[in-house]
Amino acid sequence: MVGMNRYVIGPLAALVLGQAGVRAGPPFTTDDPEPVGYHHWEFYIASTQQFQKSEVDATLPHFEVNFGVLPDVQLHLLAPIDYVHTNEGSSFGYSTTELGVKLRFMEETDNQPQIGTFPMIEIPTRIGYSHVESSSIQILIPMWLQKSWGKLTTYGGAGFWYNPGRERKNWLSAGWLVQYAVSNALTLGGEVFYHTADTIDGGSEALVHIGGFVNLDRNNHLLFCIGPTVVGEQSISGYLGYQLTI
């Protein structure tokens, strides 16, 4: 598995604009260019899961915080507690800390999408966790774009992962998503996400997710998605979480 530090297949960003607004990022793997509003916060308690024939990987749970520190600039922190079960046993403990800064440098208009980047760094900070994947820092440099037409929103992009370490290699990831606001309370969507091999003897993977989010009220939201791997080792992966926006 390609480091389950962010969203199941890739190391596990989001936005809600009012009760009927567009959100992107969690619960999906594909990210977006739109940062949290200036001086606003997002808090997540969530779990990602990946079920393979001989292995189960999950965050139980992970905690995510995003803050709009400046207009068009978001700070990001993700702290996961990981669980791994294989035929050789199970392991549980604090995993890799994720830090990031989302920068939007082009606003959306009628004729152009909004465009931004979301560089992130994965820092090995494992505590009580014996399933070692990497002892090296990993860095993501992506580009994301997004466009909306009424209740329909689409976004996606690609990124380069710097992934040093023995038998590991740099890799690329790309994803695209379409979502539709069914009502003020419910938005549904689907994504396709792909990444190249991150190890010398590994292979590429592609997954398909369907999911969305439920607005309980203006500040409280439930997020979910599920789907199979369609290229690579067979698995089912998903996301289930709670989000508080302030």
Show Cβ contacts of residue 56 under 8 Å, excluding neighbours closer than 6 positions: 49, 50, 83, 84, 85
CATH of segment(s) 41-245: 2.40.160.40
Q: What is the pLDDT of residue 171?
A: 97
User: Residue range 8-37: average pLDDT?
Assistant: 61
Show Cβ contacts of residue 166 under 8 Å, excluding neighbours closer than 6 positions: none
Q: Answer for the pair 35, 68: CB distance below 8 angstroms, yes or no.
A: yes
Q: Is 135 helix (H, G, I), strand (E, B) or coil?
A: coil
Q: What is the pLDDT of residue 9?
A: 36
Give pTM, 2 decimals.
0.87
Q: What is the pLDDT of residue 15?
A: 29
Of all residues in the chain, the percent with pLDDT exceeding 70 is 87
More confident of the two residues 212 and 135? 212
pLDDT tops 90 at residue 20: no
Residue boundaries of the structural domains of the chain: 41-245
Residue 125 banded pLDDT, cuts 50, 70, 90: confident
Q: Answer for the pair 102, 35: CB distance below 8 angstroms, yes or no.
A: yes
The torsion angle over the Cα atoms of residues 81, 82, 83 and 89, rounded to 10 degrees, is: -120
Residue 179 banded pLDDT, cuts 50, 70, 90: very high
Strand partners, 212: 188, 224
